[in-house]
């Protein structure tokens, strides 16, 4: 028995923030952002909405698509780097909102690689026979990490000038903040002897942890948080862009080739590649190195930005909506993120329900 995906769902907030909107609070431009990232717009939640709030409609949609109810689920996994609270995280709050009681509800913190790590965990739990139906959600509210104060200006609710000091700080951090958006994707996995997860291959190398991280707060400091951390911008994710680009375009092709070869396959055998949506330029470079044709690729970072743990399940759901996943399709999920964590998952869509073939329109 292996883990097979029988339902998917997604949710992105209705609030669209374009690159031009960002020019109101920092020195940037649509051309500058597109040239470096490929991003055109992203979605942000309204104040007071937490990660469990964006995860909820995605989870419900995946359950509906799978034809299951919350009572059928016996394990919940939430991958996120933006938990509702530092403890107990997001999974217990999502479980409560779904009406789940007394089942394991687990947060995992592998950031951009969270979904592939979650797939391995779900597959192991199902193969062990301990659990049968697992709900795996990748969800983020990155807007909570943004150092901006003039949200009213950003959203076009005011035309007042942004204070010079704030404008300068926003400009200084633009290389990281323009990347992110809010959103969630979810999948339901069940035990199956026909199709499903073929193999997983994951890695972590802490020697590169500071290349992509949030420096503060944490137990490395006393106190955990301070005004100085906020003022310095250390609570905003830090990305060493050139080094992360180099690592991504080296390690992502490497891990994909490794998992394909150890299963007696070639890159040409893959029907669809789903890369984490961190930067369109990274994905284009990886695609070129692998020699993959355009019709085997799918990207949506242009519309959503980087939703970290949410990117792959959102991408999978949209691939199904577009008819890109067929019965028997061989898919590859590939991701790299902070930690440094990276990996690949091979998945075969099969079975009388197709597992992944076709999906009803859902919110997004």
Above 60 in pLDDT, residue 353?
no
pLDDT value at 361 more than 70: no
Distance CA 229, CA 293 (A): 45
Distance, C-alpha 137 to centroid of its chain: 9
- Give the pLDDT of residue 233: 83
pLDDT number for residue 283: 98
Long-range contacts of 87-92 (CB under 8 A, 24+ apart): 90/50, 90/51, 90/52, 90/55, 90/139
Nearest to 2, CA basis, from 119, 120, 118, 123 = 123
pLDDT at 231: 84
Q: What is the average pLDDT score of the chain?
A: 94
Domain ranges of the chain: 2-348
170: enclosing H helix or E strand: helix 164-172
**Model confidence over 39-98: pLDDT tens digits?**
999 999 999 999 999 999 999 999 999 999 999 999 999 999 999 999 999 999 999 999
**Cβ contacts of 361 within 8 Å, gap of 6 or more:** 321
Q: Residue 1: its pLDDT value, please?
A: 86
The CATH number of 2-348, from 3.20.20.70, 3.40.47.10, 3.50.50.100, 1.10.3720.10, is: 3.40.47.10
State the catalytic residues.
112, 276, 306
pLDDT confidence bin for 362, thresholds 50/70/90: very low
Closest CA to 147 of 28, 81, 233, 20: 233
Tell me, what's the pLDDT at 136? 99
**pTM greater than 0.85 (yes/no):** yes
**How does pLDDT run across 304-326, given as a tens digit for each residue?**
999 999 999 999 999 999 999 99
Classify burial at 232, counting beta carbons within 10 Å of its beta carbon; exposed 0-12, middle 13-18, buried 19 or more.
middle
For range 246-271, the mean pLDDT: 98
CB 65 within 8 A of CB 33: no
**Over the stretch 100-140, which tens digit does the pLDDT of each residue have?**
999 999 999 999 999 999 999 999 999 999 999 999 999 99
The predicted model gives 211-234 an average pLDDT of 91
Q: Residue range 333-350: average pLDDT?
A: 96
Q: Between residues 241 and 187, which one has the greater pLDDT?
A: 187
Q: How sure is the predictor about 356, in pLDDT bands with cuts at 50, 70 and 90?
A: low
Q: Output the pLDDT for position 72.
A: 98
Q: What's phi and psi for 107, nearest 5 deg?
A: -90, 140
């Amino acid at each position: 028995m292996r883990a097979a995906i029988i339902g998917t769902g997604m949710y992105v907030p209705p609030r669209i923030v374009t690159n031009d909107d960002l020019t109101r609070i920092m020195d940037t431009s649509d051309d500058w952002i597109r040239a470096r990232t490929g991003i055109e717009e992203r979605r942000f939640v309204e104040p007071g909405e937490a990660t469990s709030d964006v995860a909820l409609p995605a989870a419900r949609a995946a359950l509906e698509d799978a034809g299951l109810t919350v009572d059928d689920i016996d394990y919940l996994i939430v991958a996120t780097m933006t938990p509702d609270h530092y403890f107990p995280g997001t999974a217990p709050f999502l479980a409560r909102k779904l009406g789940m009681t007394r089942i394991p509800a687990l947060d995992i913190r592998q950031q951009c690689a969270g979904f592939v790590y979650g797939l391995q965990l779900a597959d192991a739990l199902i193969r062990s026979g301990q659990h049968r139906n697992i709900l795996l959600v990748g969800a983020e509210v990155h807007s909570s990490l943004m150092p901006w104060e003039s949200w009213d200006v950003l959203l076009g609710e005011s035309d007042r000038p942004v204070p010079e000091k704030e404008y300068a700080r926003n400009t200084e951090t633009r290389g990281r903040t323009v990347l992110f958006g809010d959103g969630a994707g979810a999948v339901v996995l069940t035990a199956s002897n026909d199709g499903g997860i073929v193999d997983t291959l994951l890695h972590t190398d802490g020697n590169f942890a500071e290349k992509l991280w949030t420096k503060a707060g944490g137990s490395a400091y006393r106190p955990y948080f301070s005004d100085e951390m906020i003022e310095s911008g250390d609570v905003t994710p830090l990305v060493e862009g050139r080094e992360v680009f180099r690592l991504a375009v080296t390690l992502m092709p490497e891990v994909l080739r490794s998992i394909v070869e150890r299963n007696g396959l070639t890159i040409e055998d893959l029907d669809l590649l789903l890369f984490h949506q961190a930067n369109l330029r990274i994905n284009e470079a990886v695609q070129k190195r692998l020699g993959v044709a355009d019709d085997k690729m799918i990207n949506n970072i242009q519309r959503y930005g980087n939703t970290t743990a949410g990117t792959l399940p959102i991408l999978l759901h949209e691939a199904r909506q577009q008819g890109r996943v067929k019965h028997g399709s061989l898919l590859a999920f590939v991701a790299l993120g902070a930690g440094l964590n990276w990996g690949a998952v091979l998945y075969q869509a099969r079975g009388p329900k197709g597992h992944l073939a076709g999906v009803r329109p859902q919110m997004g």
